[in-house]
Chain A
């Protein structure tokens, strides 16, 4: 809560600086004395994890840029040279490549958490939209970064995605040519992608600052969704959440390290270790896993322009979500019906991701041919993705607006402290009596 600052400059230098540029005060209010609801669970640690992910990507990325050569004839070999000849280049490059996946794992958990606990609702709409902007920038950055090693999937992925703009009527072809810097994906494309791939993370960092600023104006949401009412409900961010986030970050890093050191190529496509060849198209062009749900939506629509619009529409849903959900109750803990629809929504996203990685005509149930429905067999990935995509959009456009008006939510606690103190299992038994015996 952006209340009164409790910072008191202690040394002479701090006093001097505080009257000129209160930057220490800003850091103190943001990271030390920031009053935070005391009931945040581990789903709330992903904000800190994401900040770390961004830091890792920027630091490793800057080092990689010192060795990488953005040229169609040299890019692939320069990446391999980093892995073979640069000191700890393999570490830096694998951290960066897997770091992108970790970043998306964390951001998806962070977003689903926001959806579940209603963190997009008033007064956090701007906070949520800033998060959506970060997500959009992340997608652009990740896509352009994937093009840089100039492997087969880099190249053909770039061709497919940039060609999407060609679906726009009248201006499509001109826009595509303008994006390419020529008449095909080539050296100019690679160069601008490199330039933008270096630029966008700093824009992300800028929006992250706005995101945190917005967070500190309205304060954290919490699993009950009930607003903070008194000091009783909160603890200072430091040390309570620095240590909790720190623990979560450390566990997250364990998973991160397991990939980097023992399975560095598990999340990537093997074909991307074949140098790009415009004349040979890989058998399956698939994006990285974190784009698969959107890829499935794109392919679910028979018309290209409509497919592109649906794909971007899927992201647009997130931006307008604060005004689609009509329920005044934030947390789905107290919305049993909405909770059910939410878990189906999560499932639909996973199904879309699964379909995006398969050929559209592949059978969902192997070996079973049912009947032809319009353009494909009913037992095909394309129909499965259509059902999942239909649910995805219904969730935002029908379920959330209608449910808020029709459902009967459970009773919410009066304050954050109320359920904690009334819940016998969660009360700090013996804490007051003999604190020395614990921990």
Chain B
């Protein structure tokens, strides 16, 4: 295998029984403009709501989102924030979303495991009871938890968008293993499955997730045309929010902090010049 090279002298790694690493390749994520970029960028509220719908109707059947509670949806900066309900637990929209989910609980009278409708305080329930069940349901692959997914991947939202829109029918020389799909944006090494010229091994890797989105799969309530790109960018934005729900608060705080520090710096500089004016230095 020409493309496989031995990583030299990764001394610490040597003890971890992983001396041989394949060269992983991937196509750089697509460049896409996000409304939340830059120091004052905010999430597009409509996009967050559409993204939530994509998550709810498509992703959540396999992917958990353990760290996010229903109430988060209604907090400041969240998809369903309503200024009338400063306490997101009271937000009727959030309550009704939660009620649609069945969550596990213990009956306090009998001790039996029961299911009850969710409340704003509950976390999003896991689609699988445990990891082996999740793997069994997905051909051995574990659908990653989505609470931190966006910041846990190099490239963040652009990476997620690229994966979702990047599935490609591979060339006939690439033998895709059963239950896998070729995606040029997925980091991986497909050289072992390539029968063509070794100089032309396609970039990217195999992913166990079948292409999840197709045009028209989710109907948007605001009438936005449901193209593949629209769904992908909306859900990428929703996941960016899910990993950084305090992003808008952080940036707003940051603008104030920068202005304060800037004024403070100018005052200190002026004081410095005044105090030092008679000292040759």
CB atoms of B10 and A244 under 8 A apart:
no
Q: How far is the CA of A376 from the CA of B281 in the complex (A)?
A: 53
CB atoms of A240 and B279 under 8 A apart:
yes
Q: State whether A299 and B265 are in contact (beta carbons under 8 Å apart), knowing that A84-B67, A243-B275, A247-B272 are contacts in the complex.
A: no
Q: State whether A281 and B16 are in contact (beta carbons under 8 Å apart), knowing that A253-B261, A270-B153, A307-B9 are contacts in the complex.
A: yes
Q: How far is the CA of A308 from the CA of B14 in the complex (A)?
A: 13
Query: Using an 8 Å CB-CB cutoff, how does the interface string of B18-45 with A read, 1 for contact, 0 for none?
Result: 1001001000000000000011000000
Q: With an 8 A cutoff between CB atoms, is A426 at the interface?
A: yes
Q: With an 8 A cutoff between CB atoms, is A163 at the interface?
A: yes
Residues of B within 8 A of A (CB-CB), count:
59
Q: With an 8 A cutoff between CB atoms, is A132 at the interface?
A: no
* Closest residue of B by beta carbon distance from A421: B280
Q: State whether A273 and B243 are in contact (beta carbons under 8 Å apart), knowing that A247-B269, A258-B258 are contacts in the complex.
A: yes
Chain A residues with Cβ below 8 Å from B258 are 254, 257-258, 261
Interface size class of A (residues with CB under 8 A): 35 or more
* Closest residue of A by beta carbon distance from B268: A247
Q: How far is the CA of A240 from the CA of B274 in the complex (A)?
A: 10
Q: Chain B's nearest CB lies how many Å from the CB of A267?
A: 13
* Closest residue of B by beta carbon distance from A269: B154
Within 8 A of A (CB), among B135-191: 144-145, 147-148, 151-154, 156, 187
Q: Chain A's nearest CB lies how many Å from the CB of B100?
A: 22
CB atoms of A257 and B9 under 8 A apart:
no
Q: Chain A's nearest CB lies how many Å from the CB of B190?
A: 15
Q: With an 8 A cutoff between CB atoms, is B116 at the interface?
A: no
4 extra interface residue pairs, beta carbon distance < 8 Å, beyond A39-B281, A163-B16, A274-B144: A38-B280, A164-B12, A361-B7, A428-B279
Q: Which residues of B contact A (CB under 8 A)?
A: 5-16, 18, 21, 24, 38-39, 66-67, 72, 144-145, 147-148, 151-154, 156, 187, 243, 245-246, 249-251, 253-255, 257-258, 261-262, 264-265, 268-281
The 3 closest A-B pairs by CB, nearest first: A261-B254, A160-B12, A273-B152
Q: Which residues of A contact B (CB under 8 A)?
A: 38-39, 77, 80-81, 83-84, 90-91, 94, 156, 159-161, 163-164, 166-167, 235, 239-240, 243-244, 246-247, 250-251, 253-254, 257-258, 260-262, 264-265, 270-271, 273-275, 281, 283, 285, 298-302, 304, 307-308, 359-361, 375-376, 380, 382, 417, 420-421, 426-428, 431-432, 435, 438-439
